Amino acid sequence: MTSALVIRNVEVEARAGLDVRIEAGRIAAIGAGLAPAADEIDGRGGALIPGLADHHLHLFALAAQAQSLDLTEVQGAAAFRARIAAALGRRPPGAWLRVTGYHETMAGALGRAELDGLAPRHPLRIQHQSGALWMLNSLAIDAVRDDRGAAMERDRQGRPTGRIWRGDAWLRARIGAPPPPLGPVGARLAAFGITALTDASVTTDAAAAERLAGAHRSGELPQRLTLMSGGALEAPPDGAFAVGPVKVLLDDHDLPELSEFVAAIAQARRAGRPLAVHCVTAVELGLALAAFEAAGGQDGVGDRIEHGGVIEPAAIAASRRLGLTVVTQPAFVFERGDRYAAEVEPRDLPDLYRCASLLAAGVPVAASSDAPYASPDPWAAMATAQNRRTRGGLTLGAGEQVTPLQALAMYLGDPAAPGGPPRRVRVGADADLCLLAVPLREAVVAADAQLVRATLIGGRRAYERP
């Protein structure tokens, strides 16, 4: 049996000087001057809050990023080529190079010919910043070619172009590389105060789910796990993960028929699972709203709009009427906002990654990272939700700024009901907690991950700052 733990002198829901006793993974008592325990933490007056939840990320891709060349902050073709050349220079001929974070503003549209010039002696694969597209050079194409496969795009003569749309699982299977370790991901997220994760990958199947469950059981991923999937999925008896929504992935260039979409909603309803629909563009959101309208929106079911990259004013009211939750990513405003400002029509800029207007209309909003396609740091995203500033210092959608406490609340919802009432530090609750170095009002304004002193999951230390 796990011994009791007491966290001394913390602020809980604006009350300072309290102690919190944890027994058997739950909060057993809250008060001043609680009895001593064999294990104690001095809170030093800092706030004790529920652990944060990242409601949408991609764990395997985040783990793989550690072994990749990330180009997210690269600007211009010269810098792009220099980074690729430097990375290849550290690898023997024939060794793969995996690159992420590419966008056409760096060096235009890429195919096998352009990549052959960059890497004539190494298999090279580059992922678009959106995560939807991989681009391969000739050596990489030869290594993964499967003439029966349909994942790779071909030109009019039937030759592979090197461009693969939504082919992550196919590409991973063809390369056959050992999966990257998940332990560093779990440790990194725990240092941010994150105690719950929802993997939003449409490709999750029984094998992928079992690997994630094994990482949780071993402690590599100490966070509580909820898994989306595109197909059937069953939770294990030991609760190593919970089954989340059915993921529906929409792409403007390959949208399903409305009847097909409505049938998918009905199938999810029969399985007792909500839907989570990937909607980055106004067209994708329009189709999703039409499908939910045709299927009969059901408030309380838990259907979700993932990203909400473009939400026009009329779609706000429709989302509220249909009982939808928007799970968005404030970090995209900071990380990609300068490009949005240059490429998006000025009249459309207020529609990007809304927060405040959705909350004001009564639409539940939860925040997430979409890591590795944006930073997994929730505190940086909270800062952006408050100030809406881009990396270059522009303010994008000032009317969508939220208060510091609203920004925090978007990470405190139950993973089964993101955007719902924030979880609380109260007797009987799971001891999934984040201890901060300062009182809460100071912490949410500063919004800095360096203020996280300790993270507990089920009453056990998942992270403690030296």
**pLDDT tens figures, 30-69:** 999 999 999 999 999 999 999 999 999 999 999 999 889 9
Instruction: Identify the weakest region by mean pLDDT among 65-74, 255-264, 285-294, 407-416.
Output: 65-74
- Which CATH number among 2.30.40.10, 3.30.160.270, 3.40.605.10, 3.40.30.10 corresponds to the domain 1-51+424-466? 2.30.40.10
Q: Which CATH number fits domain 68-175: 3.10.310.70, 3.40.1160.10, 3.40.50.720, 3.60.140.10?
A: 3.10.310.70
pLDDT, position 170? 83
CATH 3.20.20.140: which residues of the chain? 52-59+181-422
Supply the pLDDT for residue 200: 98
368: Cα separation from own chain's centroid: 5
pLDDT of residue 466: 86
Residue 224: what pLDDT? 98
The pLDDT score that the predictor gives to residue 354 is 98
Task: State whether the Cα torsion 60-62-63-66 is positive or negative.
Answer: positive
**Cis omega before residue 179 (within 30°)?**
no
**Higher model confidence: residue 160 or residue 305?**
305
Q: Residues 415-420: what's their mean pLDDT?
A: 96
Task: State the span(s) of the chain assigned CATH 3.10.310.70.
Answer: 68-175
1 band by pLDDT with thresholds 50, 70 and 90: very low
Q: Give the mean model confidence (pLDDT) for residues 374-393.
A: 97
Residue 419, pLDDT above cutoff 90: yes
Predicted pLDDT at 395 = 97
Residue 145 has pLDDT above 90, yes or no: no
Residue 338: pLDDT above 60? yes
pLDDT at residue 207, as a whole number: 94
Of 6-10, 111-115, 352-356, least confident by mean pLDDT is 111-115
- Phi and psi (nearest 5°) for 11? -95, 125
pLDDT confidence tier of residue 149, bands split at 50, 70 and 90: low
Torsion sign across C-alpha atoms 193, 127, 276, 151: negative
State how far the Cα of 396 lies from the Cα of 389, in Å rounded to an integer: 6
What's the whole-number mean pLDDT along residues 65-85?
Answer: 92
> Closest by alpha carbon to 57, among 263, 239, 221?
221
Instruction: Report the first-to-last Cα separation within the chain, whole angstroms.
Output: 27
CA distances from 280 to 54, 67, 340, 374 (A): 19, 27, 13, 14
Q: What is the mean pLDDT of the chain?
A: 94
- On the question of pLDDT at 146 being above 90, the answer is no
Give per-residue pLDDT as tens, 124-138: 999 999 888 999 999
pLDDT at residue 298 is higher than 80:
no
44's tokens: 């030093």
What is the topology classification, in CATH, of domain 52-59+181-422?
TIM Barrel (3.20.20)
pLDDT of residue 301: 78
Residue 150 has pLDDT above 80, yes or no: no
| pTM (predicted TM-score) | 0.93
- pLDDT value at 300 more than 70: no
Q: For residue 158, is pLDDT > 50?
A: yes
In tens, the pLDDT along 312-330 reads 999 999 999 999 999 999 9
